[in-house]
Chain A
Amino acid sequence: MEAVHAHDPAHGHDDHAHHPSGIMRWITTTNHKDIGTLYLVFAVTMFFVGGILAMGIRAELFQPGLQFWRPDFFNQLTTMHGLIMVFGAIMPAFVGFANWQIPMMIGAPDMAFGRLNNWSFWLLPPAATLLVASFFVPGGATAAGWTLYAPLSTQMGPGMDLAIFALHIMGASSIMGSINIITTILNMRAPGMNLMKMPLFVWTWLITAYLLIAVMPVLAGAVTMVLTDRHFGTNFFNAAGGGDPVMFQHIFWFFGHPEVYIMILPAFGIISQVIPAFARKPLFGYTSMVYATSSIAILSFIVWAHHMFTVGMPAAGQLFFMYATMLIAVPTGVKVFNWIATMWKGSMTFETPMLFACGFIFVFSMGGFTGLILAITPVDIQLQDTYYVVAHFHYVLVAGSLFAIFAGTYFWIPKWTGHMYDETLGKWHFWLSMIFFNVTFFPMHFLGLAGMPRRIPDYALQFADFNMVASIGAFGFGLTQLIFLYTVIKCIQGGEKAPEKPWEGADSLEWTLPSPPPYHSFETPPVVK
């Protein structure tokens, strides 16, 4: 006994080196980098699953008539494309970035709660399995749209129940991940790094994590009420039983609007790291960036009903939500101005991360402008539920969130893998993505203005030309993403050795670590002056 005791502390020290290998390394890991990698691999997998569904949608819409799918299966495609991209691709990708980067950027050895972190990730594969498996149950996947509006969602088959459980599980995962992120940021910063010295990516994630904790339970509540309406005789959303179908929309969008900022704030964070690095100039207006991010987050809680201008609110309600929504343009504008001011009189080079960042500002802003147009209640009433809205949210979610994810991947992958990625392939990926993205989604503005509703499997003849253009763009965009996959795999497998700091102008703490960084990022905290 004595001997064992005496040995214990020494064994404890060695423990780090003895982590399991093979599959068990990934299943039991509590390491922020391993978990970050798992999140990113999961996200990219779901991105391709969701992408295949999108190809199915665009194939059907290539020309008028029903060519490939029955209308109910088409609705399953649009619904599951939305759910998988939002909850399976974009959100987990950002959590992957948070896991990899936050400890390294604040000078910590790891995330605060290693086991919780492991559990947050390993909840996701079962949730994704439920979602994908729902295609194979009787009646197929839910076809009520990603917004799951009741009472349409109460009509669905068992696929709806699987989707509800998947959302419950993913919500629990997000909440645990957020608790971990907040605790890590608030407690584990290197000495000297006060809040206003944190890199902006850390700031945006801190705010995003609070948003997640605030709204994921609301979504869970909404879908649980749908579940009990479906199976246990409640009438929350059934007017015949005294319920209110519109109440679902209020609850859903109270979650749903902050959710769109959950998907864009970390993107703002990434862009705010990338631009100063390639402009070789500090970020302009750091303080106002922090305040702008916080304002956007706070405003996001009081604008939800702008998704519901056509349900018939009183004029006072419509006006309130219109004004509040328009206000969001101010802090968003400040961010764009700050990024451009950071570029102004810099000494810029345009490697792939910078290309994606510039592309982001350019195309995301177009999504911002259409957002402002949609904020105007009378115009929104005309454009609600048309392809204009589809164009708008793909401009902010694809050109916004996704392009930022690409920028961040190219920016940090030398750090993560220890290898430089193939710059030529990266540039091809950027230019083809940029061109095909616009070929796909720009014509949708015209379709929406001319009156094509969204979520329809077939359309009137005057919409045929632009739909064909959009479909061709979509196939091109889909294929282009294979370049990304190839470039990333190639970079993981080898390539030019990456130095500690491959980007001349980068200055946050992760660039003081070797590439790839040690298993426990900072065993001794660095001192920030």
Chain B
Amino acid sequence: MISKWARSLVVAAALAPALASADRYNLQTPQTIIAHEIYDLHTLILGICCVIFVVVFGAMTYSIIRHRKSLGHKAEQFHENTTVEIVWTIIPFIILVGMAIPATKTVIQMKDTSNSDLTIKATGYQWKWNYDYLQEGISFYSSLATPRELITDNSAEGHKKREDHSNYLLEVDNPVVVPVGKKVRIITTADDVIHSWWVPAFGVKQDAIPGFVRDSWFKVDKPGIYRGQCAELCGKEHGFMPIVVEAVEPEKYALWVAEQKKKMAAQADDPNKTWTLDELKARGEKVYAANCQVCHQPTGMGQPPAFPALSGSKIATGPMAGHLDRVLNGKPGTAMASFKQLSDVEIAAVITFERNSWNNKTGDMVSPSDVKKLRK
């Protein structure tokens, strides 16, 4: 550890001049007009603060050095001076007005979400994002793509693997794709608790609040992949719900839209299909991996007491109605949320999977129509 620390110190010292302008010491390189303005505002105000700092603490340091008893300095007894006091009240006020003017302009610009070319709704879930392209009718979930083992492996080898894994914790399975040069309005809301949709390079951070809709906007200048994270504490996996936005040329974007539409059509489950137990179980395993295993674990053993085991649990091996109710409606007051947003097939599949995996061997099969009946 020490040698590693020493090594990074040496590296940091060697690279410091080269990196001084790099992202690691300052705001990320801005990619939108708003992010540029935020960057410039920050630079301006930091600069003013540094000047004030030097003046004020220059005076203090001078006083500390010169006005010492040990140097034989005799204390003068003055204790007020109205002129000075008025001056040092007025001057800061004027400086503040100078800061407020450009800041006000940016605030008004940030708030102007009108005339957008494209609207995307981002819904925060514990712990993933769902994106709805309102005009195109595309909808998909986006969750962390970094494998769990990579996060928890603490062997020397695991540590090495992490270090070599670029975009560790900042990669998702399905990124948001947007066209460059178009004004994208992003609407945020949430399903369970408050999340916050944040892409630093865009200067967009908008809380996603359950039951309410908020909006913000960005227009990306150049193609690229931009990464952010959920910025509002939203429970245990808060650190593991990144946001990835891929900005592409408009033609490429049109292709992507067409492809997504095709994919969605293929994915839509035929409501009249008759499922076999094995088919449902296989489908359920995928649903489980995407929605349940962060808490209940791939082994079904959970992380008691907060996240109970499903393997051998009373609910997952008891009457089916209880199991259906728990998945559909959650358990209020606990981390078990309602999973109503899943389709009938997905819920039927995941319950079938849970009742026939690990130590659970009920042989039960839940059909999508059972789920449909329970929905009101």
Q: Chain A residue with minimal CB distance to B96?
A: A326
Name the interface residues of A148-186: CB closer than 8 Å to any CB of B.
149, 151-152, 154-155, 157
Query: If the complex has contacts A333-B92, A386-B231, are A65 and B107 also in contact, measured as CB distance less than 8 A?
Result: no
Query: If the complex has contacts A154-B333, A343-B67, are A376 and B103 also in contact, measured as CB distance less than 8 A?
Result: yes
Is A456 part of the contact surface with B, judged by Cβ < 8 Å? yes
- Whether B103 contacts A343 by the Cβ 8 Å rule is no
- Whether A378 contacts B206 by the Cβ 8 Å rule is no
- Whether A72 contacts B60 by the Cβ 8 Å rule is no
Nearest-Cβ distance from residue A258 to partner chain B, whole angstroms: 22
- Whether A362 contacts B41 by the Cβ 8 Å rule is no
Is A322 part of the contact surface with B, judged by Cβ < 8 Å? yes
Residue from the list A239, A318, A369 in contact with B211, Cβ < 8 A: A239
Is B56 part of the contact surface with A, judged by Cβ < 8 Å? yes
Is A305 part of the contact surface with B, judged by Cβ < 8 Å? no
Shortest 8 CB-CB distances between A and B: which pairs? Answer: A239-B211, A456-B239, A312-B214, A72-B236, A347-B75, A451-B200, A282-B79, A369-B49
Cβ contacts under 8 Å, B60 to chain A = 340, 343, 358, 361-362
Cβ contacts under 8 Å, A246 to chain B = 209, 212
Indicate the size class of the contact surface on chain B. 35 or more
Binds A, one of B163-171, B351-359, B363-371: B163-171
Name the interface residues of B224-275: CB closer than 8 Å to any CB of A.
228-240
Nearest-Cβ distance from residue A200 to partner chain B, whole angstroms: 12
Is A319 part of the contact surface with B, judged by Cβ < 8 Å? yes
Query: If the complex has contacts A330-B96, A333-B92, A373-B45, are A348 and B64 also in contact, measured as CB distance less than 8 A?
Result: yes
Q: Chain A residue with minimal CB distance to B151?
A: A66
Is A28 part of the contact surface with B, judged by Cβ < 8 Å? no
Nearest-Cβ distance from residue A412 to partner chain B, whole angstroms: 21
Cβ contacts under 8 Å, A245 to chain B = 193-194, 209-212
- Whether B92 contacts A329 by the Cβ 8 Å rule is yes
Nearest-Cβ distance from residue B108 to partner chain A, whole angstroms: 6
- Whether B25 contacts A450 by the Cβ 8 Å rule is yes
Max count, chain A CB within 10 A of own CB: residue among B11, B23, B198: B198
Q: How many A-B residue pairs lie within 8 Å, measured between CB atoms?
A: 311
Residue from the list A349, A379, A381 in contact with B68, Cβ < 8 A: A349
Query: If the complex has contacts A334-B88, A382-B203, are A345 and B49 also in contact, measured as CB distance less than 8 A?
Result: no
Cβ contacts under 8 Å, B107 to chain A = 315, 318-319, 322, 377-378
Once the chains are docked, how many angstroms separate the CA of A246 from the CA of B208?
11
- Whether B67 contacts A67 by the Cβ 8 Å rule is no
Name the interface residues of A339-384: CB closer than 8 Å to any CB of B.
340-350, 358, 361-362, 365-366, 369, 372-373, 376-379, 381-382, 384
Query: If the complex has contacts A71-B236, A157-B334, are A461 and B166 also in contact, measured as CB distance less than 8 A?
Result: yes
Query: If the complex has contacts A334-B89, A456-B239, are A346 and B228 also in contact, measured as CB distance less than 8 A?
Result: no
Q: Chain A residue with minimal CB distance to B234?
A: A152
Q: Chain A residue with minimal CB distance to B203?
A: A382
Cβ contacts under 8 Å, B1 to chain A = 62
Q: B-side interface residues toward A, CB under 8 Å?
A: 1, 5, 8, 11-12, 23-28, 34-35, 37-38, 41-42, 45-46, 49, 52-53, 56-57, 59-60, 63-64, 67-70, 73-81, 84-85, 88-89, 92-93, 96, 99-100, 103-104, 106-108, 110-111, 151-154, 158-159, 162-163, 165-170, 192-194, 196, 198, 200, 203, 205-207, 209-212, 214-216, 228-240, 303, 305-306, 333-335
Query: If the complex has contacts A284-B80, A330-B96, A346-B75, are A378 and B34 also in contact, measured as CB distance less than 8 A?
Result: yes
Residue from the list B151, B153, B159, B238 in contact with A455, Cβ < 8 A: B238
Nearest-Cβ distance from residue A361 to partner chain B, whole angstroms: 7
- Whether B79 contacts A345 by the Cβ 8 Å rule is no
Query: If the complex has contacts A326-B96, A379-B42, are A65 and B162 also in contact, measured as CB distance less than 8 A?
Result: yes
Nearest-Cβ distance from residue B79 to partner chain A, whole angstroms: 4
Cβ contacts under 8 Å, A71 to chain B = 236-240
- Whether A373 contacts B75 by the Cβ 8 Å rule is no
* A–B pairs, 7, beta carbons within 8 Å: A246-B212, A280-B75, A326-B100, A344-B63, A347-B69, A381-B110, A382-B38
Once the chains are docked, how many angstroms separate the CA of A65 from the CA of B162?
8
Q: Chain A residue with minimal CB distance to B50?
A: A369
Residue from the list B8, B57, B205, B239 in contact with A459, Cβ < 8 A: B239
Indicate the size class of the contact surface on chain A. 35 or more
Residue from the list A67, A75, A314, A465 in contact with B12, Cβ < 8 A: A465
Q: Chain A residue with minimal CB distance to B25?
A: A446
Is A143 part of the contact surface with B, judged by Cβ < 8 Å? yes
- Whether B56 contacts A340 by the Cβ 8 Å rule is yes
Cβ contacts under 8 Å, A151 to chain B = 192-194, 210
Query: If the complex has contacts A347-B74, A384-B231, A472-B5, are A376 and B41 also in contact, measured as CB distance less than 8 A?
Result: yes
Nearest-Cβ distance from residue A395 to partner chain B, whole angstroms: 13
- Whether B75 contacts A381 by the Cβ 8 Å rule is no
Once the chains are docked, how many angstroms separate the CA of A65 from the CA of B34?
33
Once the chains are docked, how many angstroms separate the CA of A446 from the CA of B12?
14
- Whether A450 contacts B23 by the Cβ 8 Å rule is yes
- Whether A349 contacts B63 by the Cβ 8 Å rule is no
Query: If the complex has contacts A151-B192, A343-B64, A450-B28, are A376 and B99 also in contact, measured as CB distance less than 8 A?
Result: yes
Cβ contacts under 8 Å, B25 to chain A = 446, 449-450
Once the chains are docked, how many angstroms separate the CA of A330 from the CA of B97?
12
- Whether A462 contacts B104 by the Cβ 8 Å rule is no
Residue from the list A140, A281, A366 in contact with B306, Cβ < 8 A: A140
Nearest-Cβ distance from residue B68 to partner chain A, whole angstroms: 5
Cβ contacts under 8 Å, B59 to chain A = 340, 344
Is A117 part of the contact surface with B, judged by Cβ < 8 Å? no
Cβ contacts under 8 Å, A344 to chain B = 59, 63, 67
Cβ contacts under 8 Å, A327 to chain B = 96
- Whether B169 contacts A139 by the Cβ 8 Å rule is no
Once the chains are docked, how many angstroms separate the CA of A280 from the CA of B70?
13
Cβ contacts under 8 Å, B215 to chain A = 312
Cβ contacts under 8 Å, B194 to chain A = 149, 151-152, 245
Cβ contacts under 8 Å, A468 to chain B = 5, 8
- Whether A329 contacts B168 by the Cβ 8 Å rule is no
Nearest-Cβ distance from residue B158 to partner chain A, whole angstroms: 7
- Whether B76 contacts A345 by the Cβ 8 Å rule is yes
